[in-house]
Structure 1
Amino acid sequence: MSRTDRLGDVVLTLPLLGLLRQRWPGAEILFLTRQYARPVAEACAHVHRVVEWPDHHAATAAARAALLRDTGADTLLHLFPRREVAIAGRDAGIARRIGTARRWYHWLTCTERVNVSRKRSALHEAQLNLLVAAPLLHQSRLSLAELVPHAGLTRAAPLDAAWASRIDPARCTVLVQPLTGGTVPAWPLERWTALARALDPSRFQLFVTGSADEGAQLREWLRSLPAHVEDATGQSLALLLSFTRAADCFVGASTGPLHIAAALGVPTIGLYPARESGLPARWEPLGARTTMLLQAPPPGGDHATLDISAIDVDEVRREVERVARER
């Protein structure tokens, strides 16, 4: 199973792994991914082994082929088409190699090609994964509700004592991810500030998550927030998995951590723009308790130019308070 792109894409691949385990109960599932996404693959109950794809350019074609040959795999499924992986799979002598017919190099490197176009499809990303994997499945068209139980993100380690001691069980623990790394529109920081001030400190505690670099960007802003908001940026991905599993709610845009929270079964509130590439129809987080707040386009507005800044603070607050009532 090859998925060497972004974190959210890796998470949305997990339900397919559960379906493959059902279809091929005796098979060993190997997950080829980048180093930074390894903790997610390791936390999935359907994955037997994780294989790290080398990100550095120093890796030779021969070394890449040897990496895949040494796995002993007899099938390679290209869920994220990448020429270097396709060439390595062919040169490694993997017998069955499946990928989309929409990449010219797959005609030279794959033994089976599936005519799937992600760009022109209205299906969810997880459903598109099933179409690419159709040669390995009994059924390749399932609803999102049918996919949710198959994620298998159940191996996150228990939260360590130092972080667990920061959680007040008497209050609703809300994780918020203000920044997005530029991959999708971000809700403005002033909206996050207003949300924090609107949530009762006696009932809520908020933890701001993000990478170490994002934490540095947010340092001055974090100092301006009320006392019930704490800095949790700079965690490792493994720790973020554990911390998210211990939380009561996650709020953020369509980034990897949002998809992780949904797959862990944590109530998740996603903030989405009203434009084609970011619509929940394609990138909705898969989980039993997810809510999408979508900025509506103005009358006659151009969908392509919209961001999420107009999503109302009170609307987000109401959703967070609903989660607190239901926990």
Structure 2
Amino acid sequence: MKNILISRTDNLGDVVLTFPLAAYLKQYFPGSRILFLGKKYTADLIKACNSIDEFISKESLLDDPSLLKSKNIEAVIFVYPDKDVAKICKQSRIPVRIGTSHRIFHWLYANKKVSFSRKKSDLHEAQLNFKLLEGLGITVIPSIETLGTLLNVSPKSEIPEAVKSELYSAKKKIILHPKSKGSAREWPLQNYFSLAKRLISAGYTPVISGTKEEGQKMRNEQEDFFSLPEMIDLTGKVSLGELISVISKADGLIACSTGPLHIASALGIPTIGFYPSIKPMHAGRWKPIGKYSTVLSLDKYCVDCAKGGNCICIESLKTEQVFEILEGWNK
């Protein structure tokens, strides 16, 4: 096969955990081109993966369903089930169309259906992606350690000059990414603030990342959150591509289960991630797979998380516990 399309039209962390699949296919089929179909907002991240030759946005495809016909695609893997994309791929007469048999619309639009359940599996998300390769006759499921070597990400964007001057003058930069747009169980903002003060007293520079809306939400929750003079506020000031470049220059990143956590891990930056213990949100399914990643999670069933409320287990993780792990990065 020379032209293979991977379709994953969900979010940043999910996309990062699909990069090892792209790298593996590129190795398995020497000389092949790997195309990646994703949401427009994930473009800078997908272009940062050196295993991917071309990015196609879902939005462009919906505007022009004939877009795929000129790509000579021989196989498409529906890593994330997307009815609109699957329908267009069949209309484009892509010869091999692989999807999970658990989606009814794949019985209409996929001609290679693989039976497995992500929710019930004990495999990591990055490993589960490889189950779909059964549609190509490939049955390998790499170890987490092997997958970590297949991320192959490097920054492609320049850091804005105003941000660059502020960052380059800072010492031992630790990125704190407190929010998750509601997609994960979050460590309390007060804990991040306490950690920021602890970092400053130890000679580090805390860098706060997030969207403009998340920055405002932090201010609403805690008025003095950005009051520390040594703290660098990047909320709403950089694009995704620029954030990837900023992360690549950091000495560490701390967050809950979010895209920036996975991006930092893929770049080889030390990370600490907060995870609930309940399935399917637990670290066994969603932890970052880079070599220098640490997960903090209590080994217990969390009733509050199961109900969808605040996770007392994550809230109980202490600032000093996080700081001790962080200090160990320098040893």
Give the TM-score normalised by the residue count of structure 1. 0.91
User: Would you say the 8 A contact 2:155–2:241 is kept in 1?
Assistant: no
Q: Could you tell which deviates more after superposition, 27-36 or 151-160?
A: 151-160
* Cα separation, partners in 2 of 1:201 and 1:137, compared to 1, 3 Å: farther
State the identity %.
33
Alpha-carbon distance in structure 2 between the residues aligned to 1:254 and 1:118:
18
1:9 partnered with 2:11: no
Aligned pairs for 1:272-291 within 5 A: 272-291=275-294
SS at 2:261 equivalent: helix
Q: Match for residue 184 of structure 1?
A: 184
Q: Paired residue for 1:315? A: 321
Correspondence for 1:230: 232
Q: Counterpart in 1 of 2:40? A: 35
* Paired residue type of 2:293: T
Aligned residue pairs, count: 319
8 Å Cα contact 2:179/2:186 also seen in 1: yes
Mind listing any 5+ residue stretches in structure 1 that lack a counterpart? none
Instruction: Give the conservation status (yes or no) of the 8 Å contact 2:266–2:289.
Output: yes
- Taking the aligned partners of 1:180 and 1:153, their CA distance within structure 2 comes to 22
| Local SS of the residue matching 1:165 | helix
Q: What SS does structure 2 have at the residue aligned with 1:278?
A: coil
Counterpart in 2 of 1:25?
30
Match of 2:103 in 1: 103
Q: Secondary structure at the match of 1:166?
A: helix
Deviation of residue 133 (structure 1)? 2.1
Report deviation, 1:25.
1.5
Measure how far apart 1:128 and its partner are.
0.3
Answer yes or no: is 1:249 the counterpart of 2:231: no
Do the aligned partners of 1:34 and 1:55 also contact (CA within 8 Å) in 2?
Answer: no
Deviates more, 1:104-113 or 1:68-77: 68-77
Would you say 1:294 and 2:300 are equivalent positions? no
3-state SS of paired residue (1:72): coil
> Does the 8 A contact of 2:255 with 2:261 survive in 1?
yes
The answer to whether the 8 Å contact 2:199/2:206 transfers is no
* SS of residue paired to 1:113: strand
Amino acid at match of 1:181: K
Helix, strand or coil for the counterpart of 2:289? coil
Instruction: Report SS of the residue matched to 1:174.
Output: strand
The alignment partner of 1:93 has SS state of coil
1:153 partner SS: coil
Provide the rounded CA distance (Å) in 2 between the counterparts of 1:222 and 1:246.
29
Answer whether contact 1:2 1:31 (CA < 8 A) is retained.
yes
**Whole-angstrom distance in 1 between the partners of 2:44 and 2:11:** 13
State the alpha-carbon separation in 1 of the partners of residues 60 and 69 from structure 2: 18
* 1:222–1:231 Cα contact (<8 Å) kept: no
- Return the letter of the residue paired with 2:316: A
Unaligned ranges ≥5, structure 2? 1-5
After alignment, is 32-41 or 101-110 more displaced? 101-110
- Aligned AA (2:95): A
Q: How far 1:174 sits from its partner (Å)?
A: 0.3
Q: Distance in 2 between matches of 1:141 and 1:169?
A: 44
Contact 2:155 2:245 survives alignment (8 Å): no
Q: Deviations over 1:188-208 (max 9, x none)?
A: 111111111222446100110
The Cα offsets for residues 125-161 of structure 1, whole Å up to 9 and x where unpaired, read as 0000011123347452111001111111124335454
User: Could you say what the CA RMSD is over the residues aligned between the two structures, in angstroms?
Assistant: 2.2
Question: In structure 2, do the counterparts of structure 1 residues 179 and 196 end up closer, same or farther at CA, with 3 Å as the change threshold?
Answer: same
Aligned to 1:196: 196
Quickly say closer, same or farther: Cα 1:201–1:166, change in 2 above 3 A.
farther
Taking structure 2 as the reference length, the TM-score comes to 0.90
Q: CA deviation at 1:294?
A: 0.8
Partner Cα distance (1:8, 1:248) in 2: 20
The one-letter amino acid of 1:313's match is T
How far apart are the structure 2 equivalents of 1:282 and 1:233? 28
- Judged with a 3 Å threshold, the aligned counterparts in structure 2 of structure 1 residues 139 and 161 are, in CA distance, closer, same or farther, namely farther
SS at 1:133's partner residue? helix
Aligned to 2:88: 88
